[in-house]
């Protein structure tokens, strides 16, 4: 089945709201002179192509049409700016509401936007193998409405390199010179691509955006408020007669999205009108939107931050992640001592490393017997888990170690000021305790995959993450060191991923905030169990696996993610579990 017939079927079924569809209300929105053909300006060229995804693609087997506009001013020498349009067939037409090639010709000629290559791509369709006796699989909602990095990864890694190569267009790799656009589901797709990959796109044009409950888009206003702001500039358009159906109310959702972006400190502009789920108003304001979106294009888009955000209590403006080391195989097990030195293990490299307060990384033990997790004991020594050996050991000298427990199944561990060692045994769903006499006691077996664990600053509670779940558990430590009153307590945000939160390493600061390394980033919670903020990962596409506060003043956040180790200066100060318990301030309830 051809893609043209597939798209026609989508439209007839009411599943496709492409740019240029007739308005629900006949509003008096007129196209201005910048949307009219001007014979006196240089005109770019448009070429049409087809993209067929291979079996290893993010969207295997799909086919899609696309068009590439190359401005006359682009000679292939200096890289051009780039703008990618979803549901591209409606935008590339020189009739209808959009007329993007005409608008680009006019604005580029006036110097009101950079010389910009436009890529107009349709959603993918998996063709039927049975001719007209079976429908193709339509990927539009899958690709556009869903959260997560899949569509952004498809654009950046698969589609754009081929599309630009076919058109022989050279574009800048600078994300400040890259914009992305869409209407309806295409709008949320554009926002998601920039949200997930600000290293690829930093300017977003969104009209009648589907920020509703089709595939999780209704969660964006909350995520925007909680995530560390990205360097994005966002234009939003909608009308109060937009649709109100089973997935939500588009008009309310777009207002909520604007409110969230403005509150979080983003550079955002809105254009509200009386229109419905159409592109009449959007087409009329498109030239002005391009002027605003591309203004000061040579200076770049910067991230803002609302000083009233809880992120402002932790993050320092201008302080970003600093790479300390890379090329490790499985770094993790972070812990800090009283001098601010930080230690981590690489289980696969069979080594333990020490990070000095100045950030230099050196080897502490060249042979660790597969150490995975580390903790500092009250006497300053390092205690480690060795999962392959099923042991817990204490490093007593340069090369010496003392067996503390065998057949333990330990993954992660923490040592309290009392000397008690708490550890997780995920294969048995267990949280256990090793006392000073070497006795191991099973304390709990109700967490699906217990992973990281830490103590509150007053050491009255043990907090345990669940790698495959959404909740971090809170246990009350009894006077004899055992656990009671288990509660599924800290409510984390989840990625669009069936593997769960990926909640792994945890630590706390002196204010009682809990920091959790997750697949989304470092989520930090108040004592009442609420995520107050999410600190972005240093790089897209990798999971944050462990976290701790260390450094000279215990105010640097250390992180392992992928094959790298990072740190970042913060306003927080770590509460180390081996030290004397301290009472944090009471939470706001």
Give the domain 3-13+41-294 fold. Rossmann fold (3.40.50)
Please provide the DSSP assignment of 205-245 as one string.
EEES---STTTTGGGHHHHHHHBPPPS-EEEEEEETTS-EE
Residue that the structure tokens 């009411």 belong to: 14
CB 126 within 8 A of CB 75: no
User: Is the pLDDT assigned to residue 235 strictly greater than 50?
Assistant: yes
Q: For residue 420, give Cα distances in angstroms to 144, 415, 474.
A: 51, 6, 17
Q: d(Cα 181, Cα 22) in Å, to the nearest integer?
A: 20
What pLDDT, on the 0 to 100 scale, is given for residue 77? Answer: 80
What pLDDT, on the 0 to 100 scale, is given for residue 498? Answer: 73
Q: d(Cα 214, Cα 216) in Å, to the nearest integer?
A: 6
Residue range 102-118: mean pLDDT, rounded: 98
User: Is the pLDDT assigned to residue 208 strictly greater than 70?
Assistant: yes
Residues 6+ apart with CB under 8 A from 78: none
Q: d(Cα 209, Cα 444) in Å, to the nearest integer?
A: 46
Q: d(Cα 133, Cα 390) in Å, to the nearest integer?
A: 58
Asked if domains 3-13+41-294 and 310-569 share a fold, the reply is no
- Residue spans of the domains in the chain: they are 3-13+41-294, 310-569
* Of the candidate ranges 20-34, 286-300, 495-509, 563-577, the one whose mean pLDDT is the lowest: 20-34
Q: What is the pLDDT of residues 60-72, one digit of tens each?
A: 999 999 999 999 9
Assigned architecture for domain 310-569: 6 Propeller (2.120)
Residue that the structure tokens 């209407």 belong to: 183
What pLDDT, on the 0 to 100 scale, is given for residue 4? Answer: 52
Residue range 45-55: mean pLDDT, rounded: 98
Q: d(Cα 503, Cα 531) in Å, to the nearest integer?
A: 13
Q: d(Cα 18, Cα 182) in Å, to the nearest integer?
A: 9
What pLDDT, on the 0 to 100 scale, is given for residue 75? Answer: 80
Q: d(Cα 98, Cα 287) in Å, to the nearest integer?
A: 9
Residue range 21-26: mean pLDDT, rounded: 41
User: Is the pLDDT assigned to residue 512 strictly greater than 80?
Assistant: yes
CB 301 within 8 A of CB 262: no
DSSP summary character for residue 585 = P
- Percent with pLDDT over 70 in the chain: 95
CA 438 to chain centre: 43
Q: What is the pLDDT of residues 257-298, one digit of tens each?
A: 999 999 999 999 999 999 999 999 999 999 999 999 999 999
pTM tops 0.85: yes
What pLDDT, on the 0 to 100 scale, is given for residue 589? Answer: 86
What pLDDT, on the 0 to 100 scale, is given for residue 21? Answer: 38
Residue range 116-138: mean pLDDT, rounded: 96
What pLDDT, on the 0 to 100 scale, is given for residue 121? Answer: 99
Q: What is the pLDDT of residues 325-349, one digit of tens each?
A: 999 999 999 999 999 999 999 999 9
Residue range 209-214: mean pLDDT, rounded: 98
Question: Collapsing DSSP states into helix, strand and coil, what is residue 262?
Answer: helix
């Amino acid at each position: 089945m051809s893609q043209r017939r597939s798209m026609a079927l989508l439209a007839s079924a009411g599943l496709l709201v492409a740019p240029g569809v007739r308005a629900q209300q006949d509003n008096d929105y007129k196209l201005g002179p910048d949307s009219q053909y001007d014979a006196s300006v240089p005109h770019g060229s448009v070429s049409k192509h087809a993209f067929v995804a291979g079996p290893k693609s993010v969207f295997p087997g799909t086919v899609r049409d696309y068009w590439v506009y190359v401005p006359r001013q682009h000679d292939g020498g200096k890289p051009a700016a780039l703008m990618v349009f979803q549901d591209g067939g409606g935008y590339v037409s020189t009739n209808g509401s959009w007329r993007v090639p005409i608008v680009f010709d006019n604005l580029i000629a006036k110097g009101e936007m950079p010389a910009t290559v436009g890529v107009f791509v349709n959603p993918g369709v998996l063709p039927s193998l049975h001719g007209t006796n079976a429908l193709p699989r339509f990927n539009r909602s899958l690709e556009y409405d869903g959260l997560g990095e899949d569509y952004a990864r498809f654009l950046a890694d698969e589609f754009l390199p081929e599309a630009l190569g076919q058109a022989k267009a050279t574009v800048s790799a600078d994300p400040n010179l890259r914009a992305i656009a869409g209407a309806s589901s295409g709008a949320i797709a554009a926002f998601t691509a920039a949200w997930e990959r600000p290293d690829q796109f930093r300017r977003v044009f969104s009209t009648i955006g589907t920020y509703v409950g089709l595939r999780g888009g209704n969660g964006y206003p909350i995520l925007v408020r909680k995530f560390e702001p990205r360097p994005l500039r966002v234009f939003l358009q909608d009308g109060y007669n937009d649709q109100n159906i089973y997935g939500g109310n588009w008009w309310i959702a777009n207002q909520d999205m604007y409110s969230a972006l403005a509150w979080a400190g983003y550079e955002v502009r809105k254009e509200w009108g009386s229109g419905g789920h159409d592109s009449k108003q959007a087409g009329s304001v498109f030239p002005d939107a391009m002027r605003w979106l591309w203004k000061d294009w040579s200076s770049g888009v910067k991230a803002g931050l609302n000083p009233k955000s809880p992120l402002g209590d932790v993050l320092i403006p201008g302080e970003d992640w600093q790479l300390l080391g890379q090329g490790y195989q499985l770094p993790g097990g972070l812990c800090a001592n009283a001098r601010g030195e930080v230690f981590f293990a690489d289980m696969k490299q069979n080594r333990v490393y020490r990070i000095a307060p100045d950030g230099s990384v050196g080897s502490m033990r060249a042979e660790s017997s597969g150490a995975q997790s580390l903790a500092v004991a009250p006497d300053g020594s390092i205690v480690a888990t060795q999962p392959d050996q099923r042991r817990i050991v204490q490093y007593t000298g340069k090369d010496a170690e003392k067996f503390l427990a065998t057949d333990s199944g330990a993954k992660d561990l923490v040592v309290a000021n009392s000397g008690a060692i708490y550890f997780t045994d995920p294969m048995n769903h267990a949280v256990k305790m090793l006392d000073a006499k070497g006795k191991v006691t099973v304390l709990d077996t109700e967490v699906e995959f217990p992973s990281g664990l830490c103590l509150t600053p007053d050491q009255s509670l043990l907090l345990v993450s669940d790698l495959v779940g959404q909740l971090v558990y809170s246990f009350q430590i009894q006077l004899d060191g055992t656990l009671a009153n288990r509660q599924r307590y800290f409510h984390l945000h989840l990625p669009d991923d069936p593997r769960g939160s990926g909640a792994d390493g945890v630590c706390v600061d002196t204010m009682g905030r809990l920091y959790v390394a997750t697949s989304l980033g470092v989520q930090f919670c108040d004592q009442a169990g609420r995520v107050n903020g999410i600190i972005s990962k240093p790089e897209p596409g990798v999971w944050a696996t462990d976290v701790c506060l260390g450094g000279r003043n215990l105010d640097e956040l250390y992180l392992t993610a992928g094959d790298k180790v990072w740190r970042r200066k913060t306003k927080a100060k770590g509460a180390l579990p081996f030290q004397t318990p301290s009472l944090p301030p009471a939470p706001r309830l």
